[in-house]
């Protein structure tokens, strides 16, 4: 009977130790997630977000296409050029393009997201500008989430 209690005690200690190691390991993974600082700025024809992603260009482009397909039918793919890693999407009011290029540094890629502003007058134009402005940011944030990286914005 004492042998069974000892085995049970060691079994419980082993399970607790493994649980602690796994918890510590998972917390470490969260802390070790790459941090991406991306630039966000207003341009003549819309808003632009630029980032260097800590993943290959193919992986980032694939994630962008996957997100667009998951958001269908709310989001429609207007243009898709796999060779150039270019994707253009719309929700009927807004248009955004995603361009991914291989970065100089191995295993990284340069991401550019442009969101256009519709040419309409008055208050409706200002409301749409706010929506459009956020579109480039939302796309980058969705990509960061999908690629499991932490994103920080820097405005220019």
For the chain, the average pLDDT equals: 76
Pairing mode of beta strands 35-43, 150-155:
parallel
Count the helices and strands in the chain (H runs, E runs). 3, 7
Domain map (residue ranges) of the chain = 1-32, 34-155
Please give the Cα distance from 123 to 26 (Å, whole number): 48
pTM equals 0.70
Quickly state the pLDDT bin for 154 (edges 50, 70, 90). confident
pLDDT per position as a tens digit, 6-60: 444 444 444 444 444 444 444 444 445 567 676 877 787 788 889 889 999 999 9
Which CATH superfamily includes the segment(s) 34-155? START domain (3.30.530.20)
Structure tokens belonging to residue 66: 């996957």
Torsion sign over Cα 83, 138, 77, 62: positive
């Amino acid at each position: 009977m004492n042998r069974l209690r000892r085995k049970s005690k060691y079994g419980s200690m082993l399970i607790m130790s493994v649980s602690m190691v796994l918890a510590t390991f998972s917390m470490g993974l969260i802390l070790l997630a790459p941090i991406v600082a991306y630039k966000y700025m207003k341009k003549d024809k819309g808003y632009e977000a630029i980032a260097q992603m800590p993943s290959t260009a193919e992986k980032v482009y694939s994630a962008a296409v996957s997100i667009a397909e998951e958001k269908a039918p709310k989001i429609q793919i207007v243009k898709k050029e796999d060779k150039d890693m270019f994707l253009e999407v719309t929700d009927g009011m807004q248009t955004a393009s995603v361009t991914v290029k291989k970065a100089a540094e191995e295993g990284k890629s340069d991401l550019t997201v442009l969101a256009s502003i519709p040419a309409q007058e008055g208050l409706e134009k200002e409301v749409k500008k706010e929506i459009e402005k956020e579109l480039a940011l939302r796309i980058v944030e969705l990509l960061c989430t999908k690629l499991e990286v932490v994103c920080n914005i820097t405005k220019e």
